[in-house]
Each structure stands twice: as C-alpha cells, then as structure tokens.
Copies of this chain bind each other. A is one copy, B any other.
Amino acid sequence: MWFNSQFKTQNKQLMNLINKINSHSAVIGIIGLGYVGLPLGLEFAHKGFKVIGFDVDEKKIPVLNNGESYIKHIKADRIRAAVDAGTFHSTSDFSKLTEVDAIIICVPTPLNEHREPDMTYIVNTGEMIAKYLRKGQLVVLESSTYPGTTDEVLLPMFENAPEFQNSKLKCGVDFYLAFSPEREDPNNPNYNTATIPKVVGGVTPACLEVATALYNQVIVNTVPVSSTKAAEATKLLENIYRAVNIALVNELKMVFDRMDIDVWEVIKAASTKPFGFTPFYPGPGLGGHCIPIDPFYLTWKAREYDISTKFIELAGEINTMQPYYVIEKTMEFLNNQGKTLKGAGVLILGASYKKDIDDMRESPSLKLIYILQSKGAFVDYSDPYVSKLPPTRHFKFDMSSVDISKESIASYDLVLLSTDHSDFDYELIAEHGKLIVDTRNAFEKNGIKRESIFKA
C-alpha cells in the first residue's frame, strides 16, 4: 500500500509538471545566454512562459534586461518585447534556479589545447544545479557532447545532490533529466529555433515524456529517441558529416590544384546531379563552435572503448592544414609576381567564421592573420560586422576593422578574402586591389574574373 501511494504521489508530480508545461505556467530557466540559449529562451518567453535567463557572464545581464542584443542576428526588438512583457528576465544569481520548473543547459563545450573535451562549463553548471535542485524539476542538456555525458556526468551529480544526502533523489521519479541537442544555424534564411525539429532522449520514459512535452510548446516537431546517448550521438553524427565532407572537398581542392582543375567548377557541375550528391565547399579552414569541435568529443570517448575514429582524425588533419595551405598558395602566387609576403601589406577581408554573421568563434581569419604576421607581413582586416577583433583563447590581436574604399584597397600589396560577406563591394575591390587571393570563389560567383585574382 505504501508503495502504491508513493507511486501515486510521483505520478501526480509528473502530471503536475506536464500540466504546468501545457498551460505555459511553468517557469523556464535557461543557463547560458549565447547563440543557443538566448533565442531558445525568447521562444519560450514569446509563447507566454516566464523565463529566467542565467549566465555567469555578469556583463550580459544588464544588456539583456535593458532589452538590448549582443548578437547580430538576434534582434534587440525581440528581446525588448519579452522584457517589457515581463516574460524574460536575466540574472547571474543561480539561487533563483529554485524558482524554475524546467532548466535547459546551453553552455559551451569547447576543446582544450590538446583537442580534448573541456567539460568545465557542463560540470560547473551541473554542480550549480545540484546545489539548488528541488523535487519535480526537469533538467535538459542541449550542449553538443560525447555519448554518455548526461548519464555519466550529470545524472550522478543530481542523484547525489547535497541537499538530499539522506534520501537520495531518483531520476525519473523525483526529478527528470534529458538530452536534446541544439540545432541552431545562425542566419539560415529558411529555419530558426522554432522550426527546426528537435531530437530528445530521456534517462527514463518519464523524463522523455516531460522533455518532449516541454519542447512541443515551442518547437515545430520533437523527435523522441530511445536514450540520452542516442540523442547525444545524433548531434555528433550531424556535425561529423559536415566536418568530414568539408575536409573531403578541401583535400580534393589540393589534389585538383595539382592537376590544374578548378575544384569550384567541378563542384558546380556535380551539383547538377539531381540525386545522391550534396555540395560542400572548400575554404580557408573550419570555423564556428560546432563543426571544428564536436567531432573530437566522439574521438575522445571512443578511446575509452578501444576504438579509433579515423575519419574524424583525418578531417581534423586536413581542415587544420587549410589556413597554412592558403598561405602557401598565396606565397606561390606572390612569388610568380616576384614578390614576397615579408614586408607586404595584406588586407584580410572578413573576420567572422562564416558569411553575413558576426560570430568570431574559431574563425580561420584569426589563424590567417597569425600565419601572415609570422611570415613578416603587415596585416589589417576589414569586416562590416566585426569592428574590433575580440581576444580569444588563442589569439589576442589589437586590431580594428579598416573601411573599404578605392584608396584603402589600393594601398595594400595583397587583399586576401577569407569570409565572403554579401555586403562586400566585390567590383570595387577587384577594380582597385593590386593582387587578390580568393579562398571562397566569391569574385567569380559575383561574375568577376581578372588576372589579378587568384583562387587559393
């Protein structure tokens, strides 16, 4: 009888939480207010949920609470509307975690200098949650990570939460835990947070049920899978696919270069096959927080199982080589003109890691600047979305964006296009640039072919 009544209590708790979610009266806590957490929090806020945003970066809090944005593609209007409506409030006071019904973790999962997972953010966040965890809460991890993270890292933290030392909490009974990978694609014209289907895996069936109920309120479609590790593996597969295919075309670029075949022409022609082919494009290196990083989470975990991930290793090798290859080809190009990099004035066009966004994370432009400087070039950059180069863990350049004009373009020995922003005036640059290296085929795509432009 005791057992039965305990079951009923638990069941009631689960039903309560689901009802609060379905009626949008649940309070949502988002930990990590960056490229993933901020738009997700805004989705909930705009659906009428009360959202509390948490971030350890105290500088962000007043900005957000003032209705301003620090990410180009997330409009301040959208933040301000939610703040004014009283549905979105940010804080760095994690004790307020006790006020929320669901906690969604959107913290970074970078690599350390030895290409190993840096779990600091997840572990610190987990510890913080464990400190304030209360019965009936749902916790969902969204950060891309190796299969097993939710079960092996977070679950024991929560089941052994300090407050409940004497009566350990049980997942799926006292609290709910799930993994649901973010699939943000900044600036994608066709899809946003709300319209990209969301994969969800729960530690238990109850965890899955409540987590899918939550996302169903704001996401077009949820895709339940059998376990948290299946959900973790799904995100890795998506990004491994991209990292490997980008590396593949980067390798083929190097092969076709030798054969005097234009890889861009070949990719364009192959793209006319109406099935069985998806184009990927070469570039000066991988950027962003996902593609260069996520795959190595699997590599690291696989070692525990005595197995290696050779495609990922090879992709890493080829992609890491790209900025060096671009500079090597650039030096060949200059050499043919009887010039050297040493002493040359070089303007890098584009600082962000992909076109039309302001995201500098892992941008290959920084690596290009570093290599160029190390070879004795004088380097400037120009990017309409990045007025100053932010310091990163690897690079601390004190540089500001140069305005593009006839005169400024003409003043450099070499212009090197790293990021193909749509806003660049390609005609003007082609007209006035002495020598141009194009790593994105951007000039040709804009209908410009000149002797002075070299594709590297």
The interface of chain A, by Cβ under 8 A from chain B, is: 147-148, 183, 185, 188, 190-191, 195-197, 199, 221, 223, 225-227, 229-231, 233-234, 237-238, 240-242, 244-245, 247-248, 251-252, 254-256, 258-259, 261-262, 265-267, 269-270, 272-278, 298, 301-302, 305-307, 309-311, 314, 317-318
Contacts and interface: CB of A to CB of B under 8 A. Distances in A.
A221 B272 contact: yes
Contacts of A190: 274-275
A234 to B, nearest CB: 4
Given A230-B262, A261-B147, A199 B245 contact: no
Nearest to A200: B269
A234 B270 contact: yes
Contacts of A227: 261
Contacts of A147: 256, 259, 261
A244 B112 CA distance: 29
A265 B223 CA distance: 11
26 contacts: A147-B261, A185-B275, A185-B276, A195-B274, A197-B272, A197-B274, A199-B270, A221-B272, A226-B262, A229-B259, A230-B262, A230-B266, A233-B259, A233-B261, A237-B267, A238-B276, A241-B277, A241-B278, A242-B276, A244-B248, A251-B309, A251-B310, A255-B305, A259-B305, A310-B314, A311-B318
B230 A269 contact: yes
Contact of A298 (B242, B255, B269, B277): B255
Name the residue in A148, A195, A305 with the highest tally of chain B Cβ atoms < 10 Å from its Cβ: A305
A226 B196 CA distance: 39
Given A247-B311, A255-B298, A311-B247, A196 B274 contact: yes
Nearest to A183: B273
Contacts of A269: 199, 223, 225, 230-231, 234
